[in-house]
Amino acid sequence: MKTRKIWFSIAAITMIIIGSCDSGHEKKPEKKEKEFIVHHEFDADSAYHFVEKQVAFGPRVPGSQAHENCRIYLTAKLSDYADKAIVQPFKARVFNGTIMNGYNIIGSFDTLNTKRILLCAHWDSRPFADYDPDPEKHNQAIDGANDGASGVGVLLEAARQFKIRKPGIGVDIIFFDLEDYGEPSGDQFSGKPDTWGLGSQYWSRNPHKPGYTARFGMLLDMVGNEEATFLMEGFSMEYAPKIVRKVWTIAGRIGFSNYFLFKDGGYITDDHYYINKITGIPTINIIHLTDKSPNGSFFNEWHTISDNMAVIDRKTLQVVGLTVLNTVYNE
């Protein structure tokens, strides 16, 4: 910093000399910082409805009828709001060696704009309640109301808002599939690499548009729990610290500093990890992290059959939704 300060001092002296020698030289106007405008429009009831609709199909386990029905619904909703919506089908080998079909669902706004922001969440749900307190339920699929559907619900409402009021920048919303088909808890330390985030791994290597890039990305995961706290997740701080601080500052600026805490969280191998590692797009994870849960970092009902609509709180959906919208609209 000292070198920088000295440089500015020399530059200032030089400008004075130049100015005295050429008093007729016209000064360039100083570049003004963009005015921050608070965006208030986010319908928490609408976001809640979008979460509820997904859960109503039943557990969205890849290969199930509920998964297929939800895919049709999400594709139709994005088609209603976005300028362009597509489904990216792919095949992936899951932890047990089975090849499964997956479907990333992508909606794009202002498709010709080269300045873009990436927003994402995963739409599949966990096929195992492997952290349920009742061992008899460990092989049951979960509703995934918070773990998956909440982030999708917030982004569907964001998409609805983008249709009403254009963001002024290109936005891509991606719902990743096969995120939550990782190894069951008893096998998670078997040494098999990268069994989670299969949809984001595929998209990162095969983006929907060749050469795709974005200024930054935001992943939403587990964003609907009552009194959620969003800590500064480890990989987000490693790959995109400026974006984390930008988003957390905006959250505080609009009154949500009790949700977005300037406090370090753990390292979570989530979809954003692969986006950062493979594409180089600086992407952060807005994810509920806490040190008060029996499951470690996550909310109490994580990967249990109790992750249902009872855990979803409209206020938290609104907090996250307004934070995302204010970040996008002020970019």
Q: Are 177 and 104 in contact (CB under 8 A)?
A: yes
For the chain, give me the number of helices (H) and strands (E)?
A: 9, 8
4: number of Cβ within 10 Å: 8
Mean pLDDT computed over 173-189: 91
The pLDDT value given to residue 169 = 98
Q: What does pTM read for this prediction? A: 0.89
3-state secondary structure (DSSP) of residue 141? coil
CATH number for 39-329: choose from 3.40.50.2300, 3.30.390.50, 2.40.50.140, 3.40.630.10.
3.40.630.10
Indicate if the pLDDT at residue 130 is higher than 90.
yes
pLDDT digits (tens, 9 = 90+) for 100-117: 999 999 999 999 999 999
Indicate if the pLDDT at residue 3 is higher than 70.
no
The pLDDT value given to residue 185 = 86
Task: Determine the angle formed by the axes of helices 314-329 and 241-253, rounding to 10 degrees.
Answer: 110
Q: Are 311 and 146 in contact (CB under 8 A)?
A: yes
Q: Which two tokens stand for residue 232?
A: 């500064």
Q: Specify the higher pLDDT residue, 328 or 191.
A: 328
Mean pLDDT computed over 161-169: 97
User: Where are the strands (E) in 50-193, listed by range?
Assistant: 84-93, 99-109, 116-122, 170-176
pLDDT digits (tens, 9 = 90+) for 234-247: 999 999 999 999 99
What's the residue count for the chain? 331
The pLDDT value given to residue 191 = 73
Select from 230, 140, 228, 233 the least CA-distant residue to 184.
140
pLDDT digits (tens, 9 = 90+) for 55-102: 999 999 999 999 999 999 999 999 999 999 999 999 999 999 999 999
Select from 129, 133, 125 the least CA-distant residue to 150.
125
Select from 193, 331, 315, 172 the least CA-distant residue to 256.
315
pLDDT digits (tens, 9 = 90+) for 23-37: 444 555 555 677 999
pLDDT digits (tens, 9 = 90+) for 242-297: 999 999 999 999 999 999 999 999 999 999 999 999 999 999 999 999 866 555 58
The pLDDT value given to residue 17 = 37
What is the C-alpha to C-alpha distance for residues 161 and 163, in angstroms, rounded to an integer?
Answer: 5
What is the C-alpha to C-alpha distance for residues 81 and 163, in angstroms, rounded to an integer?
Answer: 6
